[in-house]
Structure 1
Amino acid sequence: MIGLIVACEIGFWVFLLAGLATRYLLRRRRAGAILLIGAPVLDVVLLAAAAIDLRRGGEASLAHGLAAIYLAVTVVSGHSLMRWADVRFAHRFAGGPAPVRPPRAGRAHAAHERRQWLLHLLTYVVAGALLLVFTPLAGGFQAAAPLWQVMVPWTIVLVVDLVISFSYTFAPRAER
């Protein structure tokens, strides 16, 4: 399962870069779009592989939990990551406008940090929902305990991120 997760991550970047290169360097928008669609297809493959593995009696493991996290990150942030790469690729290779940097100080920075934390929370919730789907496939909560182990350190990271992200609301960074 870990190998499949790594392969899907590599495949994501291959499809993304191939799609953008085809779109901007070869000027073939439709072919580029088809390649870009390949990135989310990999997520479906990973989801199906994890579900089938558990359904066929595969032992629930940390790898299945990591698959849920990978899928959640892609579902929540995949589109914005692709948009981020597209803007930079267009700027670098096709004369597009320069990317807009997120605010670095003041209330705008605080609002940006809060939105980023909310995306982090949404990713956490989506991963939890995927783990809930995987749990009966693994044979119930007892057998699925290793899946849920990934949530313990992530919960700590989420709380630390909450404190840091919302601290800017109460003590915004000063403009330089």
Structure 2
Amino acid sequence: MIIYFIIGAEIAFWLLIIAGLVLRYILKLRRISIWVFAATPLIDLVLIVLTALDLKNGATANTFHGLSAIYIGVSIAYGKQMIDWADQQFKRFILKTGERPKKLYGKEKGKREALGFVKHIIAYVIGALIIWGMLLILGKDEQTIALYQVWKLWSVVLVIDGLISISYVFFPTKKK
């Protein structure tokens, strides 16, 4: 059941982004578009509540409950960046006014990768707090072991991402 909530949250997020972009650029309602963009965190709040209710009603925690925590962390940490990306794509493909993104090399790429890793850490901390909050409330037993497994896997992914991201700082790419 929780997978449908996550899918619904993702669809709602992108529908709000598209609505905000249409309001901003097509209908020229900039102030209203800002309110629409600002409403995107409400989707996270709804997902947290639905996940908690699902678990409170006796559902056995599974990978998707952990995924909802990851979704929330990523949405909060990367939300503005995702909106900026969508804004650039909208300008480029719909309005035909945007430019192709500049490919980065060397120190610029290293800096961007390091910043991406910092955002990943922020997403991880938020998601881990949610997972451990669920574990604290529900207890760590057979019903919640999947949450712990998701946290462990995400911890490994974070370390790998950190190694890759930092490698760009110490071994910068060169322009071909």
TM bin (shorter chain):
0.7 to 0.9
The alpha carbon displacement at 1:69 in A equals: 0.5
Q: Deviations over 1:11-46 (max 9, x none)?
A: 111111111112111112233233323422111110
Q: Which residue identity is paired with 1:162?
A: G
TM-score, with normalisation over the residues of structure 1?
0.86
Match for residue 133 of structure 1? 133
Q: Secondary structure at the match of 1:150?
A: helix
Equivalent residues of 2:114, 2:166 under 8 A apart: yes
Match for residue 98 of structure 1? 99
Distance 1:30 1:115 in 2: 29
The alpha carbon displacement at 1:97 in A equals: 5.7
Larger mean Cα displacement after TM superposition, 88-97 or 74-83: 88-97
Distance 1:50 1:68 in 2: 9
Distance 2:75 2:100 in 1: 22
Larger mean Cα displacement after TM superposition, 81-90 or 37-46: 81-90
Q: Deviations over 1:119-155 (max 9, x none)?
A: 11221121111111111332x1224221121123323
Distance 2:32 2:118 in 1: 34
Distance 2:83 2:118 in 1: 19
Larger mean Cα displacement after TM superposition, 28-37 or 43-52: 28-37
Q: Which residue identity is paired with 2:149?
A: Q
Q: Secondary structure at the match of 1:101?
A: coil
User: What 5-or-longer segments of structure 2 have no aligned partner?
Assistant: none
Q: Percent identity among equivalent residues?
A: 32
Equivalent residues of 1:25, 1:93 under 8 A apart: no
Equivalent residues of 2:131, 2:151 under 8 A apart: no
Q: Deviations over 1:33-76 (max 9, x none)?
A: 33323422111110111122223333222221111000000011
- Aligned-residue CA RMSD (Å): 2.1
Equivalent residues of 2:17, 2:83 under 8 A apart: yes
Match for residue 16 of structure 1? 17
Match for residue 68 of structure 1? 69
The alpha carbon displacement at 1:2 in A equals: 0.5
Distance 2:162 2:128 in 1: 18
Cα–Cα, structure 1 residues 170 and 94, in superposed 2: closer, same or farther, change >3 Å? same
Larger mean Cα displacement after TM superposition, 53-62 or 63-72: 53-62
The alpha carbon displacement at 1:5 in A equals: 0.3
Q: How many residue pairs end up in the alignment?
A: 174
The 5-angstrom pairing of residues 49-68 of structure 1 reads 49-68=50-69
